[in-house]
């Protein structure tokens, strides 16, 4: 009920448990979300609380999966962009998946959903297109695939676009959950969806027509190859260049790098007394590059993998010299 106090136990993105009291500011609606949403505030800061109430979860277990996806993607993006979080992406603040009514707490979305904007002129449409493509460049650099990019998942902040509602998100390389193109999930899956959004912005109702022959030439040039099979599609940054927008590398941080010392200590403690001969990694053919560790297939409760690295760091701190 609006105005009441809500006491929540949650974990922040560092894995620390916290108990925080919030004021319930009432229902909230983001058109791209299927979860229960409310605005809550504390200390002058407002958040979006996404949750699965007990009765709704009992009727539809899929809601737990949607919340899981939001937490997985949000936690990963928070680690990857820990140095400088981009305004183009929704930002997770905390979560708790071990309570009767699990929830995700996100920093409030500024502005309003793009579908609620009226009278879009060419300049504003271009701003929305650029903001969407910047957001997808950022998610791609983090290996996150939003999976449900539509106008309903975009918010206009007053100065740019924010991509929200990662309830269908997966990591690049994971098996596809839905029928579609063969092969694993690819960051260019989102580029296809972005192409549809951009065409809708330009063409309006005509965007549903399968025949693109009457599209403006500028639109056909921008979306060239976007509708091709995923392996032949451009990336979001390619479309930004077609729009004559400067493209810079996102400020990503490898979330594994900070854990290297903790893992080294842990491995040393667990190593056998007489280890086998070391295997040679790489060779002349691959320049000695170690292939990236594959992302594990998603399963219930997989969000807990974000807590394990914190345990390693804590262990490294405890076994070192005093």
Place of tokens 């950022």: 138
Supply the pLDDT for residue 304.
46
- CA-to-CA dists, residue 87 to 109, 124, 159, 162, 223, angstroms: 10, 18, 10, 7, 25
| Backbone CA torsion sign across 20, 110, 93, 259 | negative
For the stretch 38-81, pLDDT in tens is: 999 999 999 999 999 999 999 999 999 999 999 999 999 999 99
Tens of pLDDT along 12-50? Answer: 998 899 999 999 999 999 999 999 999 999 999 999 999
For residues 141 and 119, is the Cβ–Cβ distance under 8 A? no
Reported confidence tier of residue 153, pLDDT bands at 50, 70, 90: very high
β-sheet with 112-113: strand ranges across: 112-113, 154-156, 161-163
Beta carbons within 8 Å of 104's beta carbon, 6+ residues apart? 49, 50, 51, 67, 70, 71, 74, 92, 94, 95
* Cα Dmax for the chain: 73
Give the tokens for residue 180: 């579609």
* pLDDT tier at 2, thresholds 50, 70, 90: confident
Using CA atoms, how far apart are residues 215 and 228, in angstroms rounded to an integer?
17
Point out the least confidently predicted range of 45-49, 54-58, 293-297, 298-302: 293-297
d(CA 213, CA 220): 9
Q: Confidence class of residue 287 from pLDDT cuts 50, 70 and 90?
A: very low
Characterise 39 by phi-psi region: left (phi > 0), alpha (psi -120 to 50), beta (else): beta
pLDDT score of 267: 64
Distances (CA, A) of 250 to 77, 134, 226, 254: 12, 9, 22, 12
**Pairing of the two strands 17-27 and 36-42:** antiparallel
pTM: 0.81
The overall average pLDDT reported for the chain is 84
Task: Convert the pLDDT of each residue in 217-245 to its tens digit.
Answer: 999 999 999 999 999 999 999 999 999 99
User: Does pLDDT of 282 surpass 60?
Assistant: no
Provide the pLDDT for residue 104. Answer: 98
Mean pLDDT for the stretch of residues 241-257: 90
Domain ranges of the chain: 5-107, 113-242
CATH classification number, 113-242, choose in 1.10.3430.10, 3.40.1160.10, 3.30.70.3420, 1.10.510.10: 1.10.510.10
Give the whole-angstrom CA distance, residue 176 versus residue 283: 32
Angle at 299 between CA 293 and CA 305, to 5 degrees: 55
5-107 has CATH 3.30.200.20 classification: yes
């Amino acid at each position: 009920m609006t105005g009441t106090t809500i006491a929540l136990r949650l974990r922040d993105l560092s894995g620390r448990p916290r108990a925080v009291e919030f004021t319930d500011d009432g229902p909230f609606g983001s058109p791209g979300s299927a979860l229960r949403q409310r605005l809550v505030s504390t200390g002058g800061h407002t958040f979006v609380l996404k949750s699965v109430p007990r009765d709704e979860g009992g009727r539809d277990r899929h809601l737990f999966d949607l919340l899981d996806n939001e937490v997985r993607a949000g936690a990963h993006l928070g680690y990857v962009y820990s140095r400088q979080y981009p305004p183009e992406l929704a930002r997770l603040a905390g979560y708790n998946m071990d309570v009767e009514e699990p929830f995700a707490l996100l920093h409030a979305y500024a502005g309003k959903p793009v579908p609620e904007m009226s009278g879009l002129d060419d300049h504003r449409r271009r701003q929305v297109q650029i903001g969407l493509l910047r957001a997808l460049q950022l998610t791609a650099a983090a290996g996150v695939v939003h999976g449900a990019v539509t106008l309903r998942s975009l918010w206009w902040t007053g100065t740019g676009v924010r991509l929200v509602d990662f309830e269908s998100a997966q990591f690049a390389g994971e098996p596809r959950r839905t029928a579609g193109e063969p092969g694993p999930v690819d960051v260019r899956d989102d580029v296809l969806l972005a192409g549809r959004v951009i065409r809708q912005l330009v063409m309006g109702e005509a965007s549903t027509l399968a025949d693109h022959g009457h599209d403006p030439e500028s639109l056909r040039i921008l979306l060239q190859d976007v509708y091709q099979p995923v392996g032949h599609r451009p990336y979001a940054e390619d479309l930004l260049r077609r729009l004559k927008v400067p493209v810079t590398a996102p400020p990503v941080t490898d979330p594994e790098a900070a854990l290297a010392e903790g893992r080294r200590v842990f491995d040393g403690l667990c190593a056998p007394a007489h280890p086998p001969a070391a295997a040679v990694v790489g060779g002349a053919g691959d320049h000695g590059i170690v292939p990236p560790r594959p992302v594990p297939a998603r399963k219930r409760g997989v969000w807990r993998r974000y807590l394990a690295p914190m345990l390693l760091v804590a262990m490294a701190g405890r076994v070192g010299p005093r």
